[in-house]
Structure 1
Amino acid sequence: MPLPETMFCAQQIKIPPELPDILKQFTKAAIRTQPHDVLQWAAAYFSALSKGEPLPVKERIEMPLTTDKTDAVLTPGLLKILHKQLSPKGVVNVAELREKWKHLSLPEEPLKAILQLGNFSEEVEWIKILALGCTVLGGSLLSSMKHACEILTMDPEGGAARVPFETFSFLYLYLASIDGEIAEEETASFLSGIKEQADQQAGMVLLRNFLSQPSTLF
């Protein structure tokens, strides 16, 4: 067996030229994301990086929630990470969803509640998981739709948060059916008014337009 090479000086240590930038980007990502479990998140980060998959990184730092809980909680930024990672698939396996959820150190109880509420099997439509995730964030239908639009929009942060009417309508009808307390006639009338406004905006629903609707529909 050959003896290991003896190190005599620092010049013998070969550092890959791309390593400094990789570590710099990792550090910036960690600062933005503020992971609850750094080691678990770092493993997920480098695994995604090596596979060319979307990274589990927030777009910006979120203000910490005022809570006494020591566990991580679902936030718009974390839900947007999951959307970035899973939305390209359209339909996702529950096992993969659980894995991505765990990578963000999120407690299992909210995910269990989402899966039970949607009565999902082993394959789930991501858009429905996103919708129910927004109910965890918001509680009311109004705030849930607001979070959904802000996550789905291609507009910059603080912009109009536009989404296609078809997407808005699907989410609203789905959440209204889960809620079960809004009459179908009211839902149809509400969406008809939203569509009229969307038709004037190239088929896009603006966040401010539906926020001004009667609160009885939310």
Structure 2
Amino acid sequence: MPVFDTMYCAQQINIPPELPDILKNFTKAAIRTQPKDLLLWSAAYFSALSEGECLPVKDRLEMNVATQKTDTGLTPGLLKTLNKQLSPRQSCSKEELQKKWRGLCLPMDQLETLLSLGSFSSDIDWMEFFALGCSALGGTLMSSLKVACEILTEDEEGGAARIPFDTFVKLYTYLAHLDGDMPQDHIDNFLSSLQLQVNKQDGLIQVSNFYISRK
């Protein structure tokens, strides 16, 4: 029979010195993210941690929207987390997106709806999928673009929510074409008028340049 070491006291248990900080950071992340399935999310969290990947963690706790009568699954905070996880490579596989989506405990039927709406194949252009995610949150075209700016901006919360104009053009053009009812000359004229308001030094456009007057 195999011989096992016998534990006689707690002092014999070797606790890695980094474990308390790991557990502390994990607890803070869980509180901020509020996952619906803690076990599923925890598996995704520690998998990403072990592989040195971006963690499935929100920047801050999101409060429930008082006017939201049903659970829509996706939220701006969760979409921002997905963007941090998947945007660096510009495109991702369907399997990778499904894995990250599931790790955030989001409903798979909502993902399948977005994939079907965008007619995506196995290779997914992330910014196009991101635009659809913003559309699911914003409803109208202008509201969707406002959501996109607030997620992508590097400005502080409550600031001008500026993003590169080139990024705005891609998001707007994709969603406008997806709508199908907007003439190309309307798209071109709108973007031309906005380009006059772009900051010439940094190439950024802010929410107030398009949202207030066109919502």
TM interval, short-chain normalised: over 0.9
Matches of 2:76 and 2:69, distance apart in 1: 19
Aligned to 1:112: 112
| 2:96 is equivalent to residue 96 of structure 1 | yes
Q: Is the 8 A contact 2:143 2:211 kept in 1?
A: no
Give the 3 Å change call, closer, same or farther, for CA 201–140 of structure 1 in structure 2: farther
Aligned residue number for residue 208 of structure 1: 208
Residue 178 (structure 1) shift:
0.6
Question: Match of 2:46?
Answer: 46
CA contact (8 A) 1:76 1:147 kept: yes
Separation in structure 2 between the aligned mates of residue 116 and residue 38 of structure 1, nearest angstrom: 28
User: 4+ residue stretches of structure 1 with deviation over 6 A?
Assistant: none
Q: 2:166 — aligned with what?
A: 166
Give the drift of 1:27. 0.3
8 Å contact from structure 1 (residues 160, 206) kept in 2: yes
* 1:72 CA displacement: 6.8
In 1, are the aligned partners of 2:155 and 2:162 still within 8 Å (CA)?
yes
Q: CA RMSD in A?
A: 1.6
Q: Is the 8 A contact 1:78 1:104 kept in 2?
A: yes
Q: 1:37-76 counterparts in 2 under 5 A?
A: 37-66=37-66, 73-76=73-76
- Normalised by the length of structure 1, the TM-score is 0.92
In structure 2, what is the Cα distance between the partners aligned to 1:200 and 1:102? 41
Q: Distance in 1 between matches of 2:211 and 2:62?
A: 23
- For residues 147 and 86 of structure 1, do their structure 2 counterparts lie closer, same or farther at Cα, with a shift above 3 Å needed? same
Separation (CA, whole Å) in 2 of partners of 1:114 and 1:139: 13
The alpha carbon displacement at 1:65 in A equals 4.0
Instruction: Give, in whole Å, the separation in 1 of the partners of 2:95 and 2:14.
Output: 40
Counterpart residue number, 1:21: 21
Q: Which residue number corresponds to residue 184 of structure 1?
A: 184
Match of 1:137 in 2: 137
In the alignment, the residues of structure 1 paired with residue 167 and residue 82 of structure 2 have an alpha-carbon distance, to the nearest angstrom, of 18
**Superposition deviation, residue 111 in structure 1:** 1.2
Query: TM-score under structure 2 normalisation?
Result: 0.94
The letter of the residue matching 2:194 is: I
Identity of aligned residues (%): 56
Match of 1:127 in 2: 127
Question: How many residue pairs end up in the alignment?
Answer: 214
The letter of the residue matching 2:58 is: K
Q: Work out whether residues 142 and 214 of structure 2, in 8 Å CA contact, stay in contact via their aligned partners in 1.
A: no
- Work out whether residues 72 and 106 of structure 1, in 8 Å CA contact, stay in contact via their aligned partners in 2: no
Q: Distance in 2 between matches of 1:201 and 1:190?
A: 21
**104-113 or 23-32, which moves further after superposition?**
104-113
Which range moved further: 99-108 or 20-29? 99-108
Instruction: Verify the 8 A CA contact 1:36 1:72 in the aligned structure 2.
Output: no
Q: 1:3: how far off?
A: 1.9
Contact kept in structure 1, 2:94 and 2:123, CA below 8 Å: yes
- Partner SS, residue 213 of structure 1: helix
